[in-house]
Amino acid sequence: MNVTGSITPTSDTTLAAQLTGVRKVYRMGESETVALDRVDLSIPAGEIVALVGPSGSGKSTLCSIAGGILTPSAGSVIVGGQEITGYTPRQLTAFRRETIGFVFQSVNLVPFLTARENLLVVDEIGRRHRSAARARADELLEELGLSEHSRHLPGELSGGQRQRVAIGRALMNDPALVLFDEPTSSLDTALGDHVMGLIRSEMKVRNTAAIVDTHDERVTHHADRTVHIIDGVLNA
């Protein structure tokens, strides 16, 4: 890994995430794509950042790096007080499980498990006691207005309800940072607005930070801050 020597980030525990001088280059055969360049982004605990940019601007790449799915070509990434830049794959797996919540556009619920079981799956790989995990899942389902649907399979839920299950799942392990990739893109305007409002209230009540990737300027008023990204460069 190639980490720039000139940057010596200091870990600030009031920050949920701090990206400094992040660069990401994808190499495919002869060609190179600079997906991110000189990205500096600090997110205080509890802040909701909307990351807005056109297709191909680097949004998913930035979230993947903040979530420890991809490693940067250069720069430093500190999330939840952990400098993850030099982590081994094994350390990154633990980091993703314990420190990050992910809500992907495709939602990715397990189709043959009920809403409640989809939340409990997170804990199968976590370390919470079984009864504590069930209580946590039920509490989240209730907050998200899904108590009545906890025994439904994803195929028996509406798009918005599936989104809410995915939000609940992302919150099961009390993450420092939740990454939302286009959470409203498959929803109509009213439902998209509702889901963003829900994301906001769920994050605020826990003082959990979030990055919300979106093309959708209609939902950015729910964020505390909007950061624009064009050709891999941030523009606040």
Query: Which residues bind to ligand ATP, rule: CB under 6 A?
Result: 26, 28, 33, 35, 53, 55-61
94 binds, among Mg ion, ligand ATP, none (CB under 5 to 8 A by kind): none
User: Cβ distance 45 to 17 under 8 Å?
Assistant: no
User: Cβ distance 74 to 39 under 8 Å?
Assistant: no
Q: Which residues contact 208 (CB under 8 A, 6 or more apart)?
A: 16, 45, 46, 101, 171, 174, 175, 176, 177, 178, 202
Q: Given the complex with ligand ATP, which of 33 and 207 has the nearer CB atom?
A: 33
168 binds, among ligand ATP, Mg ion, none (CB under 5 to 8 A by kind): none
Closest C-alpha among 171, 229, 170, 205 to residue 49: 229
CB of 144: closest distance to ligand ATP in angstroms?
26
Q: Given the complex with ligand ATP, which of 186 and 204 has the nearer CB atom?
A: 186
Phi-psi region of 32 (alpha: psi -120 to 50; beta: other; left: phi over 0): beta
57 binds, among Mg ion, ligand ATP, none (CB under 5 to 8 A by kind): ligand ATP
Q: Given the complex with ligand ATP, which of 53 and 75 has the nearer CB atom?
A: 53
Greatest alpha-carbon span in the chain: 54
Q: Binding residue for Mg ion (CB under 5 A) from 18, 60, 64, 73?
A: 60
Residue position matching structure tokens 């055969």 = 29
Q: Given the complex with Mg ion, which of 59 and 162 has the nearer CB atom?
A: 59
118 binds, among ligand ATP, Mg ion, none (CB under 5 to 8 A by kind): none
Residues forming contacts to Mg ion in the complex (CB under 5 A) are 59-60
